[in-house]
Amino acid sequence: MSLPDPASVRTLLLDAGGVLVKPSFARVAEALRARGVDAEPAALAAAEPRAKKALDRPPSPGLSTDKERGWHYFNLVLEQAGIARSPATDAALVDVKAWHDRHNLWEDVPTDVRPSLARFRAAGLRLAVVSNANGTLRLLLERLGLAPAFDVILDSAEEGVEKPDARLFRRALERLGGDAATAVHVGDIYHVDVVGARAAGVRPVLLDEAGLYPDADCPRVRSLTELAGHFEPAHRREPTFLLNSPPAR
């Protein structure tokens, strides 16, 4: 399916996890090794798209909330990476979750995110984050230097409602002063992002980096760079403005 006509889009809603930020698999591998489990960050990262695809299905008992899906997701990553579940892996993920609850594990920013956000802004789009998160998202985006790119940031834990509930999308539009007819949402999980956006009357775009959704009934992109190029007029030069990188830690 074709991407929306750029002339028809005024507002861009973006998921956070999987689109703007990804899990720090270096931290996950470190926690596993501390429990005696051999793991390499690159292998975990390579396994992640397949694990996410396996998790992407209509909500079901026990996996209906983001919190429930989240930690099943990490067990699927280990499975896809060839690491058998054990008491040691369970203990390592408890350690990871404790760190995530305080700081947010989704702290790796893909290289194309900052320049793509700058290009979206240069194209005149209003930008919002609409994400299922744990109440630490705003602080995370500030820490990473991404927060200034957005007019609105919605964290489901703060809002008391999470995708695919249409109310989260509608709240973002209300706070932006936008409307569904001229909005697009970009997310990486079909049954959360695409289904939720459509319920709110918002056109969805699925970020499918690994090409695992060839039969999806919605537009797909392999990267934010691809989407930014779609919205940027052919004659426009890439802007020199870039979001601030986070301070050295």
> Given this model, what pLDDT does residue 181 score?
97
**Torsion sign (Cα): 85, 86, 87, 93:** negative
Token pair of 97 as six digits: 């979750």
> Given this model, what pLDDT does residue 237 score?
40
Q: What is the mean pLDDT of each run of 10 residues along the chain (249 residues)?
A: 95 98 97 98 97 84 54 91 96 93 94 97 97 95 97 97 97 96 98 97 98 97 97 57 49
Strand partners, 185: 13, 204
H helix or E strand, kind and range, residue 171: helix 166-176
112-149 burial by CB neighbour count: b if 16+ within 10 A, else e? Answer: ebbbbbbbbbbbebbbbbbbbbbebbbebbebbbbbeb
> Given this model, what pLDDT does residue 37 score?
98
pLDDT, tens digit, for every residue of 108-143?
999 999 999 999 999 999 999 999 999 999 999 999
Token pair of 20 as six digits: 């703007």
> Given this model, what pLDDT does residue 57 score?
86
Say if residues 42 and 9 touch (Cβ distance below 8 Å).
Answer: no
CB atoms near residue 217 (< 10 Å):
11
Strand partners, 183: 11
Token pair of 126 as six digits: 């209003």
Separation of alpha carbons 156 and 38, rounded Å: 34
> Given this model, what pLDDT does residue 242 score?
46
> Given this model, what pLDDT does residue 120 score?
97
Q: CB-hemisphere CA count at 13 Å for 192?
A: 29
The string of DSSP letters for 115-136 reads HHHHHHHHTT-EEEEEE---S-
Separation of alpha carbons 168 and 170, rounded Å: 5
Domain covering 6-20+108-231, topology: Rossmann fold (3.40.50)
> Given this model, what pLDDT does residue 128 score?
98
> Given this model, what pLDDT does residue 144 score?
97
**Torsion sign (Cα): 197, 198, 202, 208:** positive
pLDDT, tens digit, for every residue of 50-75?
999 999 988 655 445 555 555 789 99
- The pairs formed by 212-221 with CB atoms below 8 angstroms and a separation of 24 or more are 212/49, 212/50, 212/53, 213/53, 216/190, 217/1, 218/1, 218/190, 218/194, 219/1, 219/2, 219/3, 219/4, 220/1, 221/3, 221/186
Rounded to 10 degrees, the C-alpha dihedral 213/93/138/187 comes to 0
203-207 and 126-131: which strand pairing? unpaired
